[in-house]
Structure 1
Amino acid sequence: MKHIILALFSLLFSYGIQAQTGEIESHDPSTIQKDGNYYWFFSTGYGIKATYSTDLVNWKVSPQTVFKKDSFPTWIKEYVPKFQGHFWAPDCIFMNGKYYLYYSCSSFGVTQSAIGLATNETLDPNSPTYNWTDLGMVVASKDRKDFNAIDPSILKDKQGKIWMTYGSFFGGIAAVELDSVSGKIKKGESIKKIAGGRESDWEASCLIQEGDYYYLFVNNGLCCKGLNSTYYIVYGRSKNPLGPFLDQTGKDLNAGGGTVIMRTEGKFQGPGHVGLLREKGKNIVSIHYYDAEDQGKSKINLVEMGFKKGWPYFKRKN
């Protein structure tokens, strides 16, 4: 108990990154959002799993999922016939007075996938205004030449434009501008490849903006295999959200480039799925990892991100 109190005391005064106590099981955590006094993230699971905290240290799984575990929007079966209600890799952004939650519908090894969108005025299940409204399909994929419609990452840039990156293996990682009101693909905008392709192991992208650059973080390797997972995180940067994204050697991420920023280290096996929370002057990056000290269970971990000469680095605190 003493170490928890000390961690909370330090958090209140420094807003730094503390070790998570009783690390919570999670896979593909979304960008962390704050609603009132609570931090929330969403992750892979039946109905879409929601997890909350008051301090970014102690986390609890909400008994309330986004969709009821025994039901989901009917439109999904049209695009993903094999879907059984196990949603993947959501991402969440707050805009227009609402939380926009993007989620993935797919199954292992298939190219028929879809990204959907739901909105809510609050993330607090106890609020009288709590109600997820599903807005249907954002993008779908059919064959191996497509950008696989999973793993959405949403960015609102300094110019107020909304961008989505997504994709996994198959056609690679894609980027497209979204309409800032509807949250769907903006009329007249085309989808562009920004990394990977040719069925290579690129997935779980995350686009952020810092200074004059957009930075694209992507996972290489294999996920979802516990202690046999080989995930590691690479990145590139560009002055355009549609690329080209180049690594520190100048190699395009469309041509196999990518500067490695995090690999397996100690118990943190196969780190992946970057999300960014900017809090009190800190860049707090959320990832998941497979715990080598706990049978390879997937858990969330927070690390701090800094920049040196225009290039990012991650610093783990635990």
Structure 2
Amino acid sequence: MARRSARSSLTRSALLIAFVVTVGLVVPTTTAAAAPGRGGANPGSYENPLLPVVPEGGLVESCADPTVISAPDPATGQITWHMYCTTDPLNDADVDADGDPIFHRIPMMTSTDLVDWTYVGDAFPQGTAGLPDWADDDAALWAPEVVHSTTYDQYYLFFGVTDTTAAISGVEGCDSDNAIGVAVSDGPTGPWTFSDQPVVDPRPGAGGGCDFLWTYDPDVLGDSVGNSSTLYYGSYYGGVHGTTLALTEDGAEATGAPVMVAIDNKYEGANVVEKDGYYYIFLSATNCCNGALTGYAVFVGRSESPLGPFVDQYGNSLTDAQAGGTPFLYGNGNQWTGTGHNTVFQDANGDWWTIYHAVDQNDPFFAFEPGFTKRPALLDAIDWVDGWPTVNGGSGPSTGTMPAPAAQEGQVSRHRTRLADTQAPHKLLAEHSDEFDGETLDGGWTWDRGENAPATEPDHTLDNGVLTVDVQHGDTNVTDDAWVLTRDAPRGDYVAETRVRTDIPDEGCCFNFSQAGIGIYGDMDHYVKLTNTSIFNTRQTEWAKEIGAKQAGEGWSRYGNSVIGPPSEEWTYLRVVVERLSGAARAAAGGDTHGYTGYTSQDGVNWARGQTWTHTLGDDQQIALFSQGTTDQNQQFTAEFDYVRVSTLKVRPTRR
């Protein structure tokens, strides 16, 4: 999703984005698909991030919501690649004479090798001349999408318009009556001419008045189409939809009834590609723009139809309350986090790649405005494993030198599939584990009280090998008005896991933000936690991190969240892998001492891997159980924990 402008905010964003979540990636276990061909010229190498050169001086240090298309250059006979970004400043020095940031309306870049890019200007100028007639004067243009029509031999630039006129939305005085627009051009860099009507009008919400669903993030199926295709759009508030699309000589029109393809309150930023008889939908989840605590991540589902139903690797629908989605791209503990809003494409040799934005944990904000997240573009290879895409074989975003894609015909990338190592529990550490088979908690457990929590710990019982705990109305997230159940963790690398279920209804709204799960705990302000969480009409596995006030720099949030795989309607299995960091890995993590990788499972057999958070929780870090977060004081739920098992960690190569 495009960054919500530093100069404005949207209703619901603080509530939805703070708790809507992201995921991880399913661990590859079997055969990887072979690449199209291996003879040909070597296109060389690259390193992330991609930093397009500004001819007048400087680099493009932020390219959020990137999209990419190729076009032949008749003058040279080569392929020219074109990349477009959302409206944002280009870099730390991109301010006007008053020191205010310059918001470029869809910056455009070109390249002949997909590695070295040059900024060639903005799609639209500043001022009202750079907006459609039906846009409000203060509107921003977000999340571009570009396709070529073979029917009209024209290029079509789609974008989200954050604020439309009352003549379009039908309501005066609104600033979130957003819509999808389009402009056309004879060439991929313009000049662009706006269509005189939106492609998708503002969509009223149930609240009436200025309550509008979020109509952002357009995506058109195919880079080169005739006069029709499928259009996808939407975001957290309202969900992601698909509809048939008709192109005309001067614009485009959504012609069919919209179909929800991904549930609301979880996903945004759709990108759909076709491969081997399937349509793969890539979607981003959680907060796009939370500095070094951004847990934005990409999930994938597939369908035999462009309008779904889309399901994940284990058959979970992306429209279910237990929202399906196979983790595809997420932070792996290096300098890059908040990896999302990606575009997927094939290079000149037919190999698959993705360009996406991310956040550098060590340089998360524009220098002129702490809190304004900077999101450079990154490039990485896609490997297909048993019909499902992975980034670098499951290793995620890259640092260091990597084989470049084949940008021109006759080239072949030297990228080779290497599946990420498997992390698994090894030897059970009985002194740190508990099967809850007694009548009372054993002496290894201690209740830790938040500063503002009630005087007594939550009600809890042990019966038939299950610990049952009331879901508290307080929370550890900043307010510190909950209790946490803790026990000593082992030194070194280890795995902590539990099996948990709650009596929260399996569907329906709202039971915000009732949750239960496991984490690693320093104190009430320093921890990571993995919980089965109720978020509006969805049930998600939230994987979160909190830091203390002293760790938080200027503009920083203290809490960041991601999500992993869908929970089960019965028992959900949660696992945290803990690894010590040293040397370069510790430096990339800003000095953090440990990496914490979250995993979830619906059956205890097939595990989805998610974000690796890094943190410094001290030598006395503890295993923790969380049962908290219910915001409605009239609701009372319980959580059941079947066990806590702590094991040594075994890392082994993944078999093809």
TM-score above 0.5, yes or no:
yes
Q: Does the aligned pair in 2 maintain the 1:69–1:85 contact within 8 Å?
A: no
Cross-structure match for 1:163: 230
Cα distance change, pair 21–112 in 1 and its aligned pair in 2 (3 A): closer
**d(CA) in 1 for partners of 2:81, 2:195:** 24
Choose from 313, 318, 324 the match for 1:257.
324
Contact map agreement 1:101 1:118 (CA 8 A) in 2:
yes
The aligned residue for residue 222 of structure 1 is: 287
TM-score (structure 1 length as normaliser): 0.83
Check whether the contact 1:226–1:298 (CA below 8 A) recurs between aligned residues. no
Q: Please state how far the C-alpha of 1:298 moved relative to its aligned partner.
A: 0.7
Q: 1:60 to 1:20 in 2, by over 3 A?
A: farther
Q: Which amino acid aligns with 1:50?
A: M
Between the aligned partners of 2:336 and 2:247, the Cα distance in structure 1 is 37
Q: Which moved more, 1:292-301 or 1:242-251?
A: 292-301
CA contact (8 A) 1:29 1:43 kept: yes
Gap regions ≥5 residues in structure 1: 1-11, 125-129
**Alpha-carbon distance between aligned partners in 2 of 1:281 and 1:143, rounded to the nearest angstrom:** 42
Tell me the distance in 2 between the aligned counterparts of 1:209 and 1:241. 8
Residue of structure 2 equivalent to 1:90 = 144
Residues 116-164 of structure 1: CA deviation (Å, up to 9, x unaligned):
111111135xxxxx52111131002243356522101111399965111
**TM-fit CA distance, 1:65:** 1.3
Q: 1:309 aligns with which of 379, 386, 398?
A: 386
TM norm structure 2: 0.42
Give 1:179 deviation, angstroms. Answer: 1.1
Considering only CA atoms, is the larger Rg found in Structure 1 or Structure 2? 2
One-letter amino acid matched to 2:86: T
Find the residue that maps to 1:248 and give its secondary structure: coil
Aligned counterpart, 1:60: 118
What pairs with 1:1-318 in structure 2 (closer than 5 Å)? 13-15=41-43, 18-20=46-48, 23=51, 24=60, 25-36=62-73, 37=78, 38-45=80-87, 46-62=104-120, 64-71=121-128, 72-77=130-135, 81=136, 84-96=138-150, 97-106=153-162, 111-124=176-189, 130-136=190-196, 137-144=198-205, 148-156=214-222, 161-181=228-248, 184-187=252-255, 189-197=256-264, 200-255=265-320, 256-265=323-332, 266-279=334-347, 280-296=349-365, 297-315=374-392, 316-318=397-399
Tell me, in whole angstroms, the C-alpha distance in 1 between the residues paired with 2:240 and 2:45. Answer: 30
Instruction: Write the distance in 2 (CA, Å) between the matches of 1:306 and 1:147.
Output: 35
1:172-213, Cα deviation, whole Å (9 max, x unpaired): 0000111144552354x111101012xx13111111110110
User: What secondary structure sits across from 1:166 in the alignment?
Assistant: strand
* Residue aligned with 2:292, SS: helix
Could you tell me which amino acid in structure 1 is paired with residue 260 of structure 2? K
Q: CA deviation at 1:168?
A: 0.8
RMSD value over aligned CA atoms?
Answer: 2.5
Distance in 2 between the 1:150 and 1:237 partners? 22
For residue 141 of structure 1, give the secondary structure of its aligned residue in structure 2. coil
Kept in 2, the 8 Å contact 1:31–1:93? The answer is no
Number of equivalent positions = 293
The answer as to whether partners of 1:205 and 1:217 remain within 8 angstroms in 2 is: yes
- The answer as to whether partners of 1:21 and 1:58 remain within 8 angstroms in 2 is no
Q: 2:149, 2:224 within 8 Å by CA — same for their partners in 1? A: no
Q: Which digits, 9 at most, give the CA deviation of each residue in 1:240-291, with x for residues without a partner?
A: 1111100111110001111111111211111111212211221121111011
1:144–1:225 Cα change, 3 Å: farther
- Give yes or no for contact 1:20–1:56 (8 Å, CA) kept in 2: no
State the distance in 2 between where 1:158 and 1:40 align.
14
5+ residue gaps, structure 2, are 1-39, 52-59, 88-103, 164-173, 207-211, 366-373, 400-656
